Amino acid sequence: MNSDANPVLALAWTFALMSLFAVGGASAAIPEMHRVAVEVQHWLTDKQFADIYAISQLSPGPNVLIVTLIGYSVAGIAGALVATLSMCVPTAMLAYYVSRLLKRSSDARWPALIQAALVPLSIGLMGASGFILARTSDRTVAAALVTAGAAGTGLGDAAQPALDAARRGVSRFCRPDRVKIAICRGDPAG
């Protein structure tokens, strides 16, 4: 592959392309970063990828900077700069031109529609990010517990409405009185 010849070019190409598909921001693109950096290009090991994610969360600044870290480990400072710029500049220019375009045509219906169509996609992508990262770094029970604990505290009161909705949804389909009877009789509700 010619990407072995010049890793900086490979970085530029990879992240410029990736940014254009990063619907829902940098955290939605993490599965793709993992796929490319660990599985396709073998720039990093699983463990290094998890470490780099941790460093990017520890340091201040926008979440995209995980790209800077990947770039640095591939090709030093040049790699860091190239990776960061190619992840940021193409989409920033796109946003710039689209915002100017939208300012002229004040049709407010299309942005709302596009957003409604993209929201499930970007949540699904972020969910996949969480899953892949958890699989690479939660190798022990203790680690998995820390993740679960952080998720729980992060949810806090926000979880309550979801739980209520889920309970309502469940009780709609299986009537609780029948379940109770089934439990009293000692056989599984079914």
Footprint of another protein on 94-133 (CB under 8 A): 94-96, 98-99, 102, 111, 113-121, 123-133
- Residue 157 is encoded by which pair of tokens? 């009161």
Q: Are 78 and 12 in contact (CB under 8 A)?
A: no
* Residue 146 CA: distances (Å) to CA of 51, 59, 141: 16, 20, 9
Please, what is the minimum distance in Å from the beta carbon of residue 146 to another protein?
A: 4
* Residue 49 CA: distances (Å) to CA of 39, 53, 127, 162, 168: 11, 6, 17, 32, 40
Binders in 132-151 for another protein, by CB under 8 A: 132-134, 137-138, 143-144, 146-151
Please, what is the minimum distance in Å from the beta carbon of residue 153 to another protein?
A: 8
Please, what is the minimum distance in Å from the beta carbon of residue 42 to another protein?
A: 15
> Using CB under 8 A as the criterion, what x/- string covers residues 67-86 for binding another protein?
-xx--xx---x--xx--x--
Is residue 176 near another protein by the rule CB under 8 A?
Answer: no
* Residue 145 CA: distances (Å) to CA of 17, 21, 130, 137, 142: 36, 33, 14, 12, 5
Binders in 36-55 for another protein, by CB under 8 A: 39, 48, 50-55
Q: How many residues make up the chain in this entry?
A: 190
Please, what is the minimum distance in Å from the beta carbon of residue 5 to another protein?
A: 23
Q: Contact with another protein (CB under 8 A): which of 8, 13, 46, 90?
A: 90
148 vs 189 by CB, closer to another protein? 148
Q: Are 66 and 30 in contact (CB under 8 A)?
A: yes
Q: Are 82 and 19 in contact (CB under 8 A)?
A: no
Is residue 29 near another protein by the rule CB under 8 A?
Answer: yes
Is residue 9 near another protein by the rule CB under 8 A?
Answer: no
Please, what is the minimum distance in Å from the beta carbon of residue 179 to another protein?
A: 22
Please, what is the minimum distance in Å from the beta carbon of residue 171 to another protein?
A: 14
Where does this chain touch another protein (CB under 8 A) — which range of 4-12, 159-167, 177-185?
Answer: 159-167
Rounded CA separation 78/44 (Å): 17
Report the greatest alpha carbon distance in the chain: 71
